């Protein structure tokens, strides 16, 4: 019989200080133990493998340790060692997944409540996967939780807190366990590798952390599996091959093709992936992870291992948001597809078709606005667009369709979403950050009542409304440039008149302008 102990069991936390990533939970429980404030029922919620059952056992040790109630159990007494081995007479662990009925609850819990603890301070019931209990079993348990006997503590652990009846939840102290970040898991795996003398590079450990999806137990188990399979040092390549990840070069090539909007390269990559027998779902997940880490690097205060600085320089937060949403949609489609590579191809090429450079959108809108301004549509409702089509510079059907298509794409999120020298400087800074707003402000007549009171006069109601909508932003930006508070007044040169019915082109154009004005993210 083998004496080998899996790493997930060998490195299971024995006290609160060893539980990683759940500092808030550990601190709260330790403070309660120090103060001697023991609640009769606790509810631990969170995803699998993040320490719920482990923390329940640590809490049980702290309650029943022979040295007394303590946030730091000795780990050496009979009670601590028996709880660690799950064979303590006073600490009953129950798997609700296989004991769902009311009879199981009655036999295992209710009928033993009247019995005093065999040796220890408290009689403790740890119910794992508590959401699996039947309604009858919950009802049987509820009466006990309403009037708990002395020296009895319940600890319920679940991955699906929404399935726990509110009557049960309201009688428990609730603790939420969170999934661990890739960085925390990678550091933890590095520590274990060092103790176990496992040679592993940082990228390999990061991949293991990524594959575990925030579960510490899964990450350690994967490390154990890779150690057994590799027979040597763990490298990024060996881990990718073992866990079925797509080759790093392939993912980076796919990402580059999407950012560059290179249809030719993208097509070749899809064909090559199919010839090599790669899994379309795995390609999409790996591509999403790659873009996600780069997305997070825009707001993370520390460098992220899985992000790409080269990719970050070529794209924007808005573009990455759009791509990630499309990749999520592709993953959903692949789950029900009987032709996965076709779904992958359609999804990725659809992403290319929908993606667009911000400046090109604004240039197109400016050009269309100029044509619409030149082509005044009569207010007489009896005169149709067809009458104006006879003019040489009239908009044809393709122009109207183009504007409608442009605005519709922006609405759906496929499109990316300006006196004195100080005013000119402000307008110039807006050109790249908020081109649509810059275009509207550049048409204003600028004047000053005083150094602190400025006025913008607009001829067009739409441009004035755009300025009013962004008034707080404009005032704040100007105040920073002027290093003095600026109060801005927005006025129209002439009273607004009731507007005639807009043509389809004008309606689409207006809609596109409004959306672009509020959704620009600086590259």
- As for how many domains the chain has, the answer is 4
Q: At what angle do helices 182-196 and 216-230 cross, to 10 degrees?
A: 50
Report pLDDT for 517: 46
Strand order, beta sheet including 173-176: 91-95, 123-128, 152-158, 41-45, 173-176
14 close to 58: Cβ distance less than 8 angstroms: yes
pLDDT tens, residue by residue, 439-453: 788 888 888 777 778
Region of poorest pLDDT, from 311-325, 369-383, 451-465: 369-383
Residue 511 or residue 30, greater confidence:
30
Report pLDDT for 2: 58
Task: Pick the closest to residue 64 from 175, 147, 144, 151 (CA basis).
Answer: 151
pLDDT tens, residue by residue, 33-84: 999 999 999 999 999 999 999 999 999 999 999 988 889 999 999 999 999 9
Domain co-membership, 223 together with 335? no
Domain co-membership, 147 together with 22? yes
Task: Pick the closest to residue 154 from 128, 116, 180, 179 (CA basis).
Answer: 128
Whether 204 is covered by a domain: the verdict is yes
Report pLDDT for 312: 74
CA distance 518 to 256: 28
Domain co-membership, 67 together with 188? no
Whether 27 is covered by a domain: the verdict is yes
Range of the structural domain that residue 284 is part of: 259-352
Report pLDDT for 514: 52
- What does pTM read for this prediction? 0.63
114 close to 147: Cβ distance less than 8 angstroms: no
Domain co-membership, 441 together with 319? no
CA distance 387 to 382: 10
Q: Is 489 helix (H, G, I), strand (E, B) or coil?
A: strand
Domain co-membership, 189 together with 313? no
CA distance 11 to 494: 76
Domain co-membership, 14 together with 152? yes
CA angle 31, 83, 103 (to 5 degrees): 105
Q: How many CA atoms lie within 13 A of 128 on its CB side?
A: 18
Whether 403 is covered by a domain: the verdict is no
């Amino acid at each position: 019989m083998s004496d080998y102990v899996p790493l997930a069991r060998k490195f299971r936390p024995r006290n609160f200080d060893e539980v990683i990533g759940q500092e808030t939970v550990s601190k709260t429980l330790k403070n309660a133990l120090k103060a001697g404030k023991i609640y009769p029922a606790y509810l631990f919620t969170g995803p699998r493998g993040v320490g719920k059952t482990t923390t329940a056992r640590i809490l049980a040790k702290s309650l029943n340790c022979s040295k007394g109630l303590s946030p730091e159990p000795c780990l050496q007494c009979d009670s601590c060692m028996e709880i660690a081995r799950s064979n303590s007479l006073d600490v009953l662990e129950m798997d609700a997944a296989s004991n769902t009925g009311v009879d199981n609850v009655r036999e295992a819990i209710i009928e033993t409540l009247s019995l005093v603890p065999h040796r220890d301070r408290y009689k403790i019931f740890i119910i794992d996967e508590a959401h699996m209990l039947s309604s009858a079993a919950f009802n049987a348990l509820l009466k006990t939780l309403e009037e708990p006997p002395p020296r009895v503590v319940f600890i319920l652990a679940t991955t699906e807190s929404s399935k726990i009846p509110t009557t049960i939840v309201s009688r428990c102290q609730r603790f939420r366990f969170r999934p661990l970040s890739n960085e925390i898991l990678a550091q933890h795996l590095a520590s274990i590798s060092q103790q176990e003398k496992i040679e592993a590079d940082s990228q390999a450990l990061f991949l293991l952390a990524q594959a575990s999806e925030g579960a510490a137990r899964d990450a350690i188990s994967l490390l154990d599996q890779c150690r057994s399979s590799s027979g040597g040092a763990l490298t990024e390549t060996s881990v990718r091959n073992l866990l079925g990840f797509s080759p790093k070069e392939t993912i980076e090539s796919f990402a580059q093709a999407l950012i560059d909007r290179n249809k030719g390269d993208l097509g070749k990559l899809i064909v090559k992936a199919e010839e090599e027998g790669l899994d379309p779902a795995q390609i999409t997940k790996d591509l999403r992870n790659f873009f996600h880490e780069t997305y997070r690097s825009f707001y993370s205060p520390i460098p992220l291992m899985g992000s790409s600085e080269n990719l970050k320089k070529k794209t924007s937060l808005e573009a990455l948001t759009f791509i990630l949403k499309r990749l999520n949609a592709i993953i959903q489609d692949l789950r029900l597809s009987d032709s996965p590579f076709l779904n992958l191809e359609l999804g990725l090429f659809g992403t290319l078709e929908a993606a667009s450079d911000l400046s090109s959108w604004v240039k197109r809108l400016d050009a269309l606005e100029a044509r619409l301004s030149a082509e005044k549509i009569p207010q007489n409702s009896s005169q149709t667009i067809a009458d104006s089509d006879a003019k040489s510079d009239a908009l044809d059907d393709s122009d109207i369709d183009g504007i409608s298509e442009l605005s519709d794409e922006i609405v759906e999120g496929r499109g990316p979403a300006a006196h004195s020298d100080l005013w000119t400087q402000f307008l110039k800074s807006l050109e790249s950050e908020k081109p649509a707003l810059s275009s509207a402000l550049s048409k204003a007549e600028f004047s000053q009542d005083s150094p602190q009171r400025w006025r913008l006069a607009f001829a067009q109601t739409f441009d004035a409304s755009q300025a009013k909508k962004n008034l707080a932003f404009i005032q704040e930006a100007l105040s920073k440039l002027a290093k003095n508070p600026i109060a801005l007044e927005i006025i129209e040169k002439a009273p607004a008149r009731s507007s005639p019915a807009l043509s389809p082109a004008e309606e689409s154009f207006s809609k596109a302008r409004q959306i672009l004005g509020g959704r620009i993210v600086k590259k």
